[in-house]
């Protein structure tokens, strides 16, 4: 018996440690899973508690010069353009023209080397960073769906939004049909562990998520994925509607977006080569005509 008790005495602590180790391992795996889920989150600034001024903000680039590093070529070599508050402005141009860089500079992911960038008439270097980012809604290209329910996806960066605001954002982004179609409505898990959403639905979910943060300027890098006719139409309606309430700056990949834009900024070779409406540019800018004929999938 003594031998048995001694055996237990020596054996039990290791068993206890093993059990504890197992729990720790499980906790570690759960944490890794959470980190993976966090990694899947879009690079969106988190909402701040400061009271919001919801007025649409204008943007102005004045002779902006930017390169990603001292040994890198200039991406912006004197970029100037103006986006008045409200309405839809589209950025177009060949690949590498520096369109996404405009968004990166506005968000201050990078700092320009010279020139001035104004948001709402104020130099972005004078804005407190959190305030600037709270004023901007950024919808990235082919935005990912987060792990979780559709409700969690929409409220990710606006936890304090009311049910009414949530419903309004769903209506504005034409997601009512999706909510009605999902087995558990808003509580349905979506993404790779739930119901898969189409490219058009994903982009509209991302827009709704950004709108719930009440941005003063929405930066939209349009999805390049092909959309069916219904989704194409819905996206166009959504962008037009949002542009009635806030400023929308979109990197456009679709002809339907540029034809509906109030103004189009054509970027090329480190600068802005033309600004105008679709009709003006088709008549007056050769590169735009070419882009419209190729990039936007229409004949010239
Ligand atoms: P696309 O339509 O292909 O997205 P774009 O007009 O948006 O092109 P940018 O993405 O702004 O162009 O890129 C402009 C230039 O800067 C390209 O030559 C690109 O390789 C380079 N570039 C972009 N991002 C970075 C980065 N993070 N680090 C270094 N160089 C970069």
Q: pLDDT tens across 188-206, in order?
A: 999 877 888 988 899 999 9
Q: How far is the CA of 158 from the centre of ligand 1 (A)?
A: 30
Which is more confident, 6 or 101? 101
**Per-residue pLDDT, 257:** 87
- When the pLDDT of each residue in the chain is averaged and rounded to a whole number, the result is 84
Q: How far is the CA of 213 from the centre of ligand 1 (A)?
A: 27
Tokens of 71: 């040994």
Q: Which of 93, 94, 100, 291 to mutate for ligand 1's pocket (most ligand atoms within 8 Å of CB)? A: 100
**Per-residue pLDDT, 24:** 52
**Per-residue pLDDT, 49:** 42
Measured CA to CA, the distance from residue 179 to residue 185 in angstroms comes to 5
Band of pLDDT at residue 293, cut at 50, 70 and 90: confident
**Per-residue pLDDT, 200:** 86
Residue identifier of the C-alpha nearest atom 19 of ligand 1: 96
**Per-residue pLDDT, 292:** 87
Beta-ladder partners of 82: 60
The tally of CA atoms less than 13 A away on the side-chain side of residue 181 is: 10
Least confident window among 70-84, 98-112, 137-151, 284-298:
284-298
**Per-residue pLDDT, 45:** 44
Give the atom of ligand 1 at the shortest distance from the alpha carbon of 98: 11
Count of CB atoms situated within 10 Å of the CB of 88: 24
Measured CA to CA, the distance from residue 212 to residue 48 in angstroms comes to 13
**Per-residue pLDDT, 30:** 54
Least confident window among 10-19, 217-226, 253-262:
10-19
User: Does residue 180 carry a pLDDT above 90?
Assistant: yes
Band of pLDDT at residue 50, cut at 50, 70 and 90: very low
pTM of the prediction? 0.81
User: Does residue 179 carry a pLDDT above 90?
Assistant: yes
Q: How far is the CA of 291 from the centre of ligand 1 (A)?
A: 18
**Per-residue pLDDT, 178:** 94
Band of pLDDT at residue 300, cut at 50, 70 and 90: very low
User: Does residue 264 carry a pLDDT above 90?
Assistant: yes
Least confident window among 9-23, 100-114, 221-235:
9-23
Q: Which of 73, 101, 138 to mutate for ligand 1's pocket (most ligand atoms within 8 Å of CB)? A: 101
Q: How far is the CA of 100 from the centre of ligand 1 (A)?
A: 7
What are the pocket residues of ligand 1 if the criterion is a CB atom closer than 6 Å to any ligand atom? 68, 75, 93, 95-101
Residue identifier of the C-alpha nearest atom 10 of ligand 1: 100
**Per-residue pLDDT, 6:** 53
Measured CA to CA, the distance from residue 238 to residue 185 in angstroms comes to 21
Q: What is the ipTM of this complex?
A: 0.97
Instruction: Give percent of the chain with pLDDT exceeding 70.
Output: 80
Beta-ladder partners of 105: none
Which is more confident, 268 or 5? 268
Give the atom of ligand 1 at the shortest distance from the alpha carbon of 102: 11
Measured CA to CA, the distance from residue 275 to residue 280 in angstroms comes to 9
Q: What is the 3 state secondary structure string of the chain?
A: CHHHHHHHHHHHHHHHHHHHHHHHHHHHHHHHHHHHHHHCCCCCCCCCCCCCCCCCCCEEEEEEEEECCCCCCEEEEEEEEEECCCEEEEEECCCCCCHHHHHHHHCCCCCCCEEEEEECCEEHHHCCHHHHHHHEEEECCCCCCCCEEHHHHHHCCCCCCCHHHHHHHHHHCCCHHHHHHCCCHHHCEEHHHCECCCHHHHHHHHHHHHHCCCCCEEEEECCCCCCCHHHHHHHHHHHHHHHHHCEEEEECCCHHHHHCCCEEEEEECCEEEEEECHHHHHHHCHHHHHHHHHCCCCCC
b (16+ CB within 10 A) / e for 54-65: eebbbbbbeebe
């Amino acid at each position: 018996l003594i031998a048995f008790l001694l055996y237990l005495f020596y054996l039990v602590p290791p068993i206890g440690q093993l059990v504890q180790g197992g729990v720790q391992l499980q906790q570690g795996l759960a944490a890794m899973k959470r980190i993976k889920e966090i990694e899947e989150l879009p690079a969106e600034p988190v909402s701040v508690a400061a009271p919001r001024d919801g007025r649409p903000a204008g943007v102005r680039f004045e002779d902006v010069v930017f390169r990603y590093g001292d040994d890198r070529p200039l991406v912006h070599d004197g970029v100037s353009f103006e986006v008045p508050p409200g309405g839809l402005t589209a950025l177009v141009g060949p690949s590498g023209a520096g369109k996404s860089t405009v968004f990166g500079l506005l968000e201050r992911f990078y700092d320009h080397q010279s020139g001035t960038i104004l948001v709402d008439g104020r130099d972005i270097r004078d804005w407190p960073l959190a305030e600037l980012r709270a004023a901007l809604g950024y919808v990235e290209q082919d935005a990912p769906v987060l792990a979780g329910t559709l409700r969690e996806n929409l409220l990710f960066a606006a936890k304090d939004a009311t049910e009414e605001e949530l419903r309004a954002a769903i209506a504005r982004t034409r997601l009512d049909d999706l909510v009605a179609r999902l087995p558990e409505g808003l509580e349905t898990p979506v993404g790779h562990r739930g119901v898969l959403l189409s490219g058009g639905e994903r982009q509209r979910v991302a827009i709704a998520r950004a709108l719930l943060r009440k941005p003063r300027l929405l930066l939209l890098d349009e999805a390049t994925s092909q959309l069916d006719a219904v989704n194409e139409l819905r996206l166009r309606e959504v962008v037009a509607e949002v542009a009635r309430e806030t400023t929308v700056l979109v990197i456009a990949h679709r002809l339907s977006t540029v034809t509906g834009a109030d103004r189009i900024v054509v970027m090329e070779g480190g600068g802005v080569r033309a600004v105008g409406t679709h009709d003006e540019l088709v008549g007056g800018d050769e590169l735009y005509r070419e882009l419209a004929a190729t990039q936007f999938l229409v004949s010239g």
